[in-house]
Chains A and B, each alone.
Chain A
């Protein structure tokens, strides 16, 4: 029973640390996005709250907390309330299986970095969770009882399910290379510069494009295309409920970056042999260095997401469907067969 208590304590501490990190990541990303876009468009960006506007995201959150919650009379109130919870909950849930470093010893216990990185169906868990993510946006669109919201929600769900296929098939290549569904195994398999991006370049590109579509980021942001749909699925959301969708968007960006880093860019692996700088296997310092390594990878990938958003124009809906079904899906299927054939021949 005492062992159980320790496990529970460890899990709770990890959960709290990860929530704090996700919130911090979202705040940082919002700030980076605003500064970055200002730089690209030759503006100054937020510069009033705190030095260089650094406190802007916190001011935004405070403001969202204080804002009145307006729910239209025609809306389905319960589902309207449920939708943002599903959206954000799913974005957070994926972190349960992402490994954030190898293990270290503390007080006679082996502690893994990450909530449960050794779940042996980790990838399946992630696929399952992302497939459920559709509900948040669809329900938000439907329950608002607003034409813009419904159109946004429908578009978004059709888009998400279309790109989920290519995403799943791209992951298949990674599974074939490493022969495991366990995310920690996949990261360990990439040690010594055997990063999957080098073994699976086509799969990497397919996954990257699908990740953009899954997170509804430009060039795939049709669900919230401002010129035609006002705000898309979140038109009728105000205050903290809107804040939840906003947080979910940035949380999803961080999640996708973490997934790309884990599956293709070596996860928590350091880009050099840790013994060169005197870091011992199983030490706390090595674990921290690995953690820093994946956090830097996530931040760089998120910056890439932001860079693309402010550079590339939006797709038309028929182009989007064409890309998903006629280009990425056949390519992803061929990638699976080609990977298999090459692995047998070598």
Chain B
């Protein structure tokens, strides 16, 4: 048993545990915080895969920006008890079950395919995931998608303002 494997197991168990707390906690702030903890564990998992940039981004963007937004929403809207949220849950339950079954099928497919040797984990993934190589690839091969992201972000800024304004009035 290598050290990496031990790291992986501990991180994975903590990640799953915090994910369960996220969906079962009664207090929305606690569930948001356990999601933040979950993101930290995910970042650790990325580090065991040598994907340092993704790991840092996981914390910087997800834990440091998106979850701050979520906490703001929880604090500002003050939905408080989950009772009020229980209105249109039926459709969501159906969708959740569907997505979960897709996920389980996917797990099995990946497991079976790697077992039988039909797909293999690429050799040079470790080299590809440093910040330098991401920079090299992003600005040579993926120029157009990169500019498209710029436009997408612009659209998101405008959309956010328009929606927030509509809610306000």
- The residues of A with any CB-CB pair to B shorter than 8 Å are 4, 76, 78-79, 82, 120-121, 124-125, 127-129, 131-132, 134-135, 138-139, 142-143, 150, 154, 157, 161, 181
Contact = CB atoms under 8 A, between A and B. Distances in A.
A121 B59 CA distance: 13
A143 B28 CA distance: 12
A161 B75 CA distance: 16
A161 B68 CA distance: 9
Contact of B56 (A82, A124, A150): A124
Interface string B43-87: 000000000110111011001110010011001000000000000
A128 B39 CA distance: 12
Contact of B64 (A78, A120, A131, A139): A131
B130 A120 contact: yes
Interface residues of B, number: 22
A41 B68 CA distance: 39
Given A131-B63, A132-B63, A161-B68, A121 B53 contact: yes
Contacts of B11: none
A183 to B, nearest CB: 14
B27 interface: yes
A82 B71 CA distance: 15
Nearest to A125: B56
B129 to A, nearest CB: 11
A128 B56 contact: yes
Given A134-B68, A138-B68, A181-B131, 11 more contacts: A79-B29, A79-B30, A121-B56, A121-B131, A124-B52, A124-B131, A127-B56, A127-B60, A134-B64, A143-B29, A161-B65
Contacts of B42: none
Tell me the dominant secondary structure on chain A's binding face.
Answer: helix
B64 A128 contact: yes
11 contacts: A4-B3, A120-B130, A127-B56, A129-B59, A135-B33, A135-B36, A135-B71, A138-B68, A154-B75, A161-B65, A181-B131
A161 B63 CA distance: 13
Interface string B9-38: 000000000000000000101100100100
Contacts of B131: 121, 124, 181
B68 A157 contact: yes
Nearest to A157: B68
Nearest to B3: A4
Nearest to A79: B29
B75 A121 contact: no
B75 A142 contact: yes
A138 B68 CA distance: 9
A315 to B, nearest CB: 22
Given A79-B30, A157-B68, A161-B65, A131 B60 contact: yes
